Amino acid sequence: MSPVFSAVFLWLMATILWWSGWREEAGEGFPHWMVGSFLAIWPLALLANVAITPSLQVNGAWLWTLFALITMAWRTNPNRRWTSISAGVLLGSIYLLLCRLAYYPSGFSHFIAPWGTAILVGCLSALLLRNSTEQLLAISTALYLSEGITVFVQSTSDTFPIVKASEWLEVWWISVLVSRLWSISVKSAAIQARRWAFKMGWKRGRHSS
């Protein structure tokens, strides 16, 4: 599937989940109007290309995501912000390493990139950070950092390809959705386990009495 269609499909999935009642679970720490605005404008931004220089154009959705990231970072507590950015640097290093390995004839390229690396980044962000804001900051920092390093290496070497905006957006959506689904699943499982433990303890107490 084309990265553009994949990114649009993942955006549609996130939008449906958000408006179907997952706002409280998936958007903890975010004002609802902010997430709604981001999701509503994102497909319109995807259709636009912004000219930075006469020879350089950047996709509007890429810039819109960057703007949302900066706004989110500005609203976040400084300690949590820098913790998330530090985690993002770590995740970006892992992402770059795996993407680099994918270009070696090891036979793992079909498993590593792009879905495998994106899923791994999402899972690691959920393991390292608990809050949705922190997870999104870490994922975005990781992918923007890897994109910057990729462009820098591309400018001095022909061995590392530039990641297109559509591919970057696809990886971003995969990582974000995996991170949030993982966190929500673990949280739901923990709540259910506590309920079962309470019921079993209550039954045992009643039998012993």
Sequence-separated (6 or more) residues with CB below 8 Å from residue 172? 65, 118, 139, 140, 143
pLDDT of res. 122: 92
Q: Which strand (E) or helix (H) includes residue 52?
A: strand 49-53
- Give the tens place of pLDDT for each residue, 141-182: 999 988 888 777 666 544 434 346 778 888 999 999 999 888
pLDDT of res. 85: 92
Q: Phi/psi of residue 63, each to 5°?
A: -70, -35
Please give the residue that has the higher pLDDT: either 200 or 98. Answer: 98
pLDDT of res. 208: 54
- Give the tens place of pLDDT for each residue, 30-71: 677 788 889 999 999 988 887 777 766 788 888 899 998 898
Q: Mean pLDDT in the chain? A: 79
